[in-house]
Amino acid sequence: MKLIDIIRFAGKAATGYPTRTVLMLLAMAIGVGSVVVLSALGEGARRYVIGEFSALGTNLLIVLPGRSETVGGAPPLLGITPRDLTIADAMALRTSSAIRYIAPISVGAAPVSRAGRERETTILGSTADLYPLRQLEMAAGRFLPPGDPERGEAICVLGHTLKEELFGSAPALGETLRIGDYRYRIIGVLSEKGQSVGLDMSDIVVVPVASAQALFNNPALFRVMIEARDRDAIERARKAVVRIIKERHDGEDDITVITQDAVLATFDRIFAALTLTVAGIAAISLAVAGILIMNVMLIAVSQRTSEVGLLKALGTPGRRIVTLFLAESAILSLIGAALGLVIAALAIWVMSLIFPQFPIAAPLWSLAAAVGVALFTGLVFGVLPARRAARLDPVLSLSRR
Amino acid sequence: MIDLKDIRREFVVGDETVIALRDVDLQIGSGEYLSIMGPSGSGKSTLLNVIGLLDRPDSGEYLLEGESVTTLSDKRQAALRRHKIGFVFQFFHLIPRLSAAENIELPMILAGMDGARRKTRVTEALSAFGLSDRARHRPDQLSGGQRQRVAIARATIMEPHILLADEPTGNLDRHSGQDVVDILEDLNHHGITLIVVTHDPDLGLRAGRRITMVDGAVATDTGTAQSPPAGP
């Protein structure tokens, strides 16, 4: 028997009983559809988080004071508090050729007032390098000028929301603002860039880092943000940072360097695992579809008992009868899987219309996996009915109408 | 051509063993027209199924055209059924979703014949059995006589040497029954070995050689002497 004839015969058998065929296709389509849609959601979440992290800047390293790792060994006799990171420490990093920008950061909150309006606001102390590093944009004026970071000028840059709240539509450039006990001249307003990972850049005041330290009366930096020259330089930059700071801190290795790559890789792994888990849960529905296929094929075999008997009388060996019934369940699974992909594509399209900012997309592997699993379950669950058909006694099956 | 030696077939029904064939010895020559009659449960259908390789005897030997077929594998037996044996059933056993032409084509599809040859043979068979205008009809759109003609066309499309008919007129009115008998006898005149199992004495008495079975054994056999000469 030729392959094309096997397919045609099995296809005719499938279309010969429309109700059960439609039910089977529906079960398979729902199974495949849910696998694809759920993994697309997982993939979308992954892309969303990675997109957010990339908005932070590229090739980024963050230096934190203190070590976050616990190292074994006897506890120190005297409690060791980590040495502060200072502006001088940050500036010492300039010697490394792997580093492009260095932005020491000091953060605190202080009351900001102007003409009777007062508001508690986040104050961010930094240098001119923060501008390219965080990929900021100006709505008006300019950012902090480059210069000696140890010198605290009384100038500030306002976030977009804060400017609206304090000045409304009136121009703010050149005006003065009171932060804590000091007066600052406004030299720029940031454009609406929105939030990126935890810090709302539109609701802050940016001042020179030395000014912030004076304001909070604290010479320690909150952290130092560093941009490496390029992707390959990240590791060199990390090593340089650790080495330089260690030298300056009397050989004490008391900082933690987080690279953006490492953070991204961690999130990547978390979301990949999450996507797989969700897809795995959806795959249960494929197994259910497989059991339905088995059920329906068993009914098909008992409905077609005399047909099987006839096929045997016409000289079809048992093996060929197995092939015919397996071909039928394979065809049904494949068509069901194709329908499932169409349903999934529609669902993803609708979701992308409703949530345009969420980057939902079905990963290719999920398409292949869903169709593969569908075909596999169709065949596996088709074996039992097909074998039952092949074992039918032709004499008994032909003795009835 | 068909040589049965000491064929025995037993069935277990509940805890009782029923002997369907009791050491049957039977030789059937090529081109014979044989009828097998007998009461229900006399083993005549079982004998037909053993001859048609649908049933395996529990003991004894069956030589088909000189070859022992009793112990052949399922696959080899299927091949013999495909090429040497045709079946006609009381209930026609047409596949309901296939048209008359597709039902006739089925054995050739199963044998892996190529499409063009199948088409010409089906067309020939349809016209030979007076079914040309019914080719696209499904079985439920055909009369009983037409269905049985489709079934005979299907049974003979592979040009078998042996045609086995189990109550071929059992579900037909007198007129279409006569029609079917004429077709079967005509095939026999053209050389096919025809074996008919029937309850109907009118049909049974037409055969050149008549066997009656009682209780799993051959009771009477008119013998080959009276068989009409094979072929035209």
Residue A78 has pLDDT above 70, yes or no: no
More confident residue, A82 or A22: A22
Instruction: Rank A197-201, A373-377, B216-220 by mean pLDDT and report only the highest.
Output: B216-220
Contacts of B46 in chain A (CB under 8 A): 395
Residue A193 has pLDDT above 70, yes or no: no
Residue A194 is predicted with a pLDDT of 54
CB-nearest to B81 from A15, A306, A313 is A313
Do B170 and B10 form a contact (C-beta atoms < 8 A)?
A: no
Residue A77 is predicted with a pLDDT of 52
Q: What is the ipTM of this complex?
A: 0.89
Residue A81 has pLDDT above 70, yes or no: no
Instruction: Rank A6-20, A29-43, A121-135, B148-162 by mean pLDDT and report only the highest.
Output: B148-162
Residue A400 is predicted with a pLDDT of 67
**Do the bridges between strand A155-158 and strand A60-65 make them parallel or antiparallel, or are there none, so unpaired?**
unpaired
| pLDDT (average), residues B13-23 | 90
- Specify the long-range contacts of residues A283-288, CB closer than 8 Å, at least 24 apart: A283/A31, A283/A35, A283/A373, A285/A30, A285/A31, A285/A34, A285/A35, A286/A28, A286/A31, A286/A32, A286/A35, A286/A370, A286/A373, A286/A374, A286/A377, A287/A377, A288/A27, A288/A31
Lowest mean pLDDT among A4-18, A187-201, A256-270, B176-190: A187-201
Contacts of A319 in chain B (CB under 8 A): 75
CB-nearest to A395 from B54, B74, B85 is B54
| pLDDT (average), residues B214-230 | 74
Cα–Cα distance between A314 and B80 in angstroms, integer? 10
- Convert the pLDDT of each residue in A103-138 to its tens digit: 999 999 999 988 878 889 999 999 999 888 887 888
Q: Which residue of A has its CA nearest to B89?
A: A398
Q: Is residue B143 part of a domain?
A: yes
The pair of structure tokens assigned to B214 is: 């009682």
The H or E element spanning position B151 is helix B144-156
Q: Is residue B231 part of a domain?
A: no
- Convert the pLDDT of each residue in A284-319 to its tens digit: 878 888 888 888 888 888 888 889 999 999 999 999
Distance in Å, alpha carbon of B80 to nearest chain A alpha carbon: 7
Residue B231 is predicted with a pLDDT of 42
> For chain B, how many structural domains are there in total?
1
Band the pLDDT of A20: cuts 50, 70, 90. Answer: confident
| pLDDT (average), residues B15-33 | 92
Structure letter (DSSP) for residue A367: H
Residue B232 is predicted with a pLDDT of 41
Residue B229 has pLDDT above 50, yes or no: no
| pLDDT (average), residues A154-169 | 88
| pLDDT (average), residues A343-366 | 88
Q: Is residue B152 part of a domain?
A: yes
Residue A196 is predicted with a pLDDT of 54
- Name the E strands within A46-89: 60-65
Q: Which residue of A has its CA nearest to B167?
A: A399
Do A361 and A48 form a contact (C-beta atoms < 8 A)?
A: no
Residue A284 is predicted with a pLDDT of 83
The pair of structure tokens assigned to B42 is: 């006399």
Residue B181 is predicted with a pLDDT of 94
Residue A75 has pLDDT above 70, yes or no: no
Residue B176 is predicted with a pLDDT of 92
- Convert the pLDDT of each residue in B43-94 to its tens digit: 999 999 999 999 999 999 999 998 999 889 989 999 999 999 999 999 999 9
- Convert the pLDDT of each residue in A86-97 to its tens digit: 888 888 988 888
Distance in Å, alpha carbon of A343 to nearest chain B alpha carbon: 30
Contacts of B79 in chain A (CB under 8 A): 315, 317
Structural domain boundaries, residue B112: 2-226
Contacts of B104 in chain A (CB under 8 A): none
Lowest mean pLDDT among A69-73, A297-301, A310-314, A391-395: A69-73
> Residue A306 and residue B93: Cβ atoms within 8 Å?
yes
Q: What is the mean pLDDT of chain B?
A: 91
The single-letter code of the amino acid at A153 is E
Give the domain ranges of chain A: 3-53+265-399, 83-253
> Residue B110 and residue A314: Cβ atoms within 8 Å?
yes
- Convert the pLDDT of each residue in B89-99 to its tens digit: 999 999 999 99
Residue B69 is predicted with a pLDDT of 92
> Residue B82 and residue A311: Cβ atoms within 8 Å?
no
Residue A76 is predicted with a pLDDT of 52
Q: What is the mean pLDDT of chain A?
A: 85
**Residues of chain B that touch chain A, judged by Cβ-Cβ distance less than 8 Å:** 45-46, 49, 52, 54-55, 74-75, 78-83, 85, 87, 89, 91, 93, 95-98, 106-107, 109-112, 114, 154
Report yes or no: A328 at the B interface, CB cutoff 8 Å: no
Three-class secondary structure of residue A265 per DSSP: helix
Residue A326 has pLDDT above 60, yes or no: yes
Residue A135 is predicted with a pLDDT of 79
Q: Which residues contact A118 (CB under 8 A, 6 or more apart)?
A: A111, A112
The single-letter code of the amino acid at B125 is A
| pLDDT (average), residues B15-23 | 91
Residue B228 has pLDDT above 60, yes or no: no
Residue A57 has pLDDT above 90, yes or no: no
Q: Is residue B232 part of a domain?
A: no
Residue B92's CATH number: 3.40.50.300
Residue A102 is predicted with a pLDDT of 92
More confident residue, B118 or A117: B118
Preferred mutation among A311, A312, A314 to probe B, highest tally of B CBs within 10 A: A314
